[in-house]
Amino acid sequence: MRRVPWDVLLALLIGLGLGLVYSWVISPQRVFNAEPTTLRADFKDQYRALIASAYLATDNLPRAQARLALLGDSDSAEALNGQAQRMQANGQSFERADQVAALALALDGEVSEVSTSNIPVSTATIEEITNDIENIPSATSISPLSESEVPFALTETPQTIETQTIVVETTPRPTNTATPVPGKPFVLTGQETVCDPNLPNGLLQVVVLNSNRRQIAGVEIDITWDGGKEQFFTGLKPELGNGYADYTMTPEITYSIQLARGSDVALGITAPTCQSPTGETFLGGIKLTFQQP
């Protein structure tokens, strides 16, 4: 009977262990030219946060749309809304959550999508987005992600970027929170079903805008159903937007929603039944947008 060559087997195991330590710890492989669609979910969240910070700096919505399209989300606005609420639930910075929510609101207001077929992946490099963030005036409070918080590297292809002159104020001036002013009644400009398993079940989200698409705080919202009525107000969660408010709906109850100052009435609102990618069903939500004409 042939004996097992333990010395050879031990040498192979030691060699395998040393090889793993070298490749995983000493000199791990770095990924370059990675497409954003291949990123992990948490890395995609950091990528969206960078895009939102750059949008705050440049106010360039088409460029933000092009960058978001590279992530491959089926609905970029819904992905941003879900991320903003996850950020708030996890105790992350209010400023960053507000930036993500603001970009989602801007996308909801766009009637047509921007074509990205002629925009290469390299236009969404971390260096370019960071350069956009650095253009923010000093009067604006923002804390962009540090280099150590970005776990992936992308290479940059030189491109022509429009430049603009920004006047930087040395002394920040206080800004006032938008408050409702007398105006025309509001119209219901958007109603959509939100199927995000990361959000609370039956979440009704309401966003109120003025005629310039600025969010308005302090607007009373009346919600009624058979045998009941309640009120809630925008602006109580400023980290998600001054004109944002939400309400938890009860399953199998039909609601009507209207602004107390006068607006279209959203009728037949009920929590929808959604299905997760794994086939499980859960209670979804509804998002309503009211705006002054």
* 127-153 pLDDT per residue, tens: 666 666 555 444 344 444 444 444 444
For the question of whether the overall pTM of this predicted structure is more than 0.85, the answer is: no
Q: Report percent pLDDT > 70 for the chain.
A: 71
Residue 149, SS3 per DSSP: helix
pLDDT tens column, 236-271: 888 888 899 999 999 999 999 999 888 999 999 999
Q: Which of 145, 114, 141, 113 is nearest to 129 (CA)?
A: 145
Contact 288/190 with Cβ under 8 angstroms?
Answer: yes
pLDDT at 234 over 60: yes
Phi, psi of 222 (to 5 degrees): -100, 125
Q: Report the interhelical angle of 76-89 vs 61-69 (nearest 10°).
A: 90
Q: What is the mean pLDDT of residues 55-60?
A: 84
Q: What is the mean pLDDT of residues 205-210?
A: 93
The domain segmentation of the chain, as residue ranges, is 36-149, 187-291
Q: Report percent pLDDT > 90 for the chain.
A: 25
Q: What is the mean pLDDT of residues 121-125?
A: 47
Supply the pLDDT for residue 188: 94
Q: What is the mean pLDDT of residues 161-187?
A: 52
Phi, psi of 140 (to 5 degrees): -95, 130
Q: In which element (H, E) is residue 55 found?
A: helix 41-58
CA-based radius of gyration for the chain: 24
Q: Which CATH superfamily is domain 187-291 in?
A: Carboxypeptidase-like, regulatory domain (2.60.40.1120)
The identity of residue 196, as a single letter, is: D
Supply the pLDDT for residue 131: 64
pLDDT at 173 over 80: no
Burial class (CB in 10 A: 0-12, 13-18, 19+), 189: middle
pLDDT at 166 over 50: no
Out of 121-125, 238-242, 253-257, 288-292, pick the least confident.
121-125
**For residue 198, what pLDDT band results from cuts at 50, 70 and 90?**
confident
